[in-house]
Amino acid sequence: MVAVRLRQQGSFRSMNYGFFDYKYNIPGYDGGDFESLLRFLYPAVSLILITVFVKQIRKNGWKGITGFMKVLSVYLIVEEIFKISWESYWDVTTGRGFNTGGILPLDTCSIFLYVLPCAAFGKGKVRRCALAWMSSIGVLSGMSYMLFPMVLKWYPMFSYGAYHSLMFHFMMVFTGTAAIASGLIRISAEDIVYGFIPQMIMACFVIPLNYLFDWDYMLLKEASGIPFVENLADTFAARGTEYLTTMMVIILYLLMDSFAMIFNYQVQNHPAEENRRLTRYQN
């Protein structure tokens, strides 16, 4: 196993760990990378790379972005299976058991796993819903994670656990941005509805599981980590009205979807963008 020597900023403490080491097997790591400059370099570098890659992929047209999505969708599925297997192995062999409440691909960001193949291989309204979600809630969710990469509280930057999460959310932002910039989807008012359909399909599946097993997938039961809403969720839980938290978070997702679609529409219909519209591409 590849050994990585890392000096933690602020503590000046060096550690040895393997790239594939599990979070509980990295002695001495206390989340220092989340508080270090690395946390801010990640979104900064990601923004630069996304800008460069989007400009390049626009030159290749719709076929270029669609081909990339096809390859990426297969890779991410394989990567997710490996990541779940890898994490479950350590959980089970160390006596913690299978982490059903946190490891299953049922979070909002996990929707990307399911809509990406639909955008790459699908047609018609199915493809439209996938692209609409990716360019709205998908981009905003990915950007939120870039600003607050919580995985760095558990894993150092240069480890597999961090790589998987940081790479996944980078791809969420990149593909959604590329879909808009390339004109793969031309935004209209109805895309607010189309973009929200994948979110509600997942929510309808997740909500019963959350209440049955006391989980918080998609943040639809406890709103874990959402400023202000999390405090209200505690109050609702104490009063036995947790369903109000669920309703508030769903409304929040709808607002994210609507805001992103309005922004995308304005970008695509800006005079400068209209002059660059790639009308020669064919679906």
Output DSSP code: residue 27: T
Question: Which position has the token pair 């947790």?
Answer: 242
User: Which residue, 164, 138, 170, 137, is CA-closest to 151?
Assistant: 164
pTM for the model stands at: 0.88
pLDDT at 263 over 70: yes
**What share of the chain has pLDDT > 90, as a percent?**
66
Contact 175, 111 (CB under 8 A): no
Tens digits of residue pLDDT in 227-237: 888 889 999 99
Please report the pLDDT score of residue 276 as a whole number: 58
Average pLDDT over residues 126-143: 96
Average pLDDT over residues 25-29: 84
Three-state secondary structure readout of 91-154:
HHHCCCCCCCCCCCCCCCCCHHHHHHHHHHHCCHHHHHHHHHHHHHHHHHHHHHHHHCCHHHHC
pLDDT at 275 over 90: no
Estimate the share of the chain in helix, then strand, then coil, as percent rounded to the nearest 5. 65, 5, 30
- 4 pLDDT tier (thresholds 50, 70, 90): very low
- 3 pLDDT tier (thresholds 50, 70, 90): very low
Strand partners, 5: 16
CA distance 28 to 172: 32
Please report the pLDDT score of residue 242 as a whole number: 92
Question: Given its phi and psi angles, is residue 183 left (phi above 0), alpha (psi -120 to 50 degrees) or beta?
Answer: left
- Ranges of each domain in the chain: 3-268
Please report the pLDDT score of residue 219 as a whole number: 95
Residue 53 vs residue 8, higher pLDDT = 53
- 18 pLDDT tier (thresholds 50, 70, 90): confident
Q: How many residues does the chain have?
A: 283
CA distance 264 to 95: 48
Contact 160, 87 (CB under 8 A): no
**What share of the chain has pLDDT > 70, as a percent?**
90
Strand 13-18 versus strand 3-8 pairing type: antiparallel
Average pLDDT over residues 258-280: 73
Average pLDDT over residues 4-16: 43
Tens digits of residue pLDDT in 159-211: 999 999 999 999 999 999 999 988 888 999 999 999 999 999 999 999 999 99
Tens digits of residue pLDDT in 36-83: 898 899 999 999 999 999 988 877 777 888 999 999 999 999 999 999
CA distance 151 to 57: 29
Q: How many C-alpha atoms does 230 have within 13 Å on its Cβ side?
A: 6
